[in-house]
Amino acid sequence: MVKRVIYIHGFNSSEKSFKAQQFGQWVSENFLDIEYISPRLHFDPRIAIIQLTQLIDQDTVLLGSSLGGYYATYLSQLHNIKAVVINPAVKPFELLADYLGPQYNPYQDMHYELTLEHVAALQSLFMTHLPNPDKVMLLQQMGDEVLPFEQAVDYFKQSAQHVEFAGDHSFMGFERYFDTVAKFLKIT
The average pLDDT across 32-60 equals: 96
Kindly report, residue by residue over 46-56, the tens digit of the pLDDT.
999 999 999 99
Q: From 83, 62, 69, 57, select the one nearest 13 (Cα to Cα).
A: 69
Is pLDDT above 90 for 97?
Answer: no
Spatial separation of the C-alpha atoms in residues 95 and 81, rounded to whole Å: 27
The average pLDDT across 129-146 equals: 97
Instruction: Please count the CA atoms within 13 angstroms of the CA of 18 that sit on its side-chain side.
Output: 7
* Cβ(27)–Cβ(38) below 8 Å: no
pTM: 0.96
Per-residue pLDDT, 188: 75
Per-residue pLDDT, 36: 97
Kindly report, residue by residue over 62-80, the tens digit of the pLDDT.
999 999 999 999 999 999 9
Band of pLDDT at residue 148, cut at 50, 70 and 90: very high
The average pLDDT across 105-121 equals: 95
* Cβ(39)–Cβ(62) below 8 Å: no
Is pLDDT above 80 for 130?
Answer: yes
Is pLDDT above 90 for 1?
Answer: no
Burial string for 111-142 (b: 16+ CB within 10 Å, else e) reads eeebeeebbebbeebeeeebeebebbbbbbbe
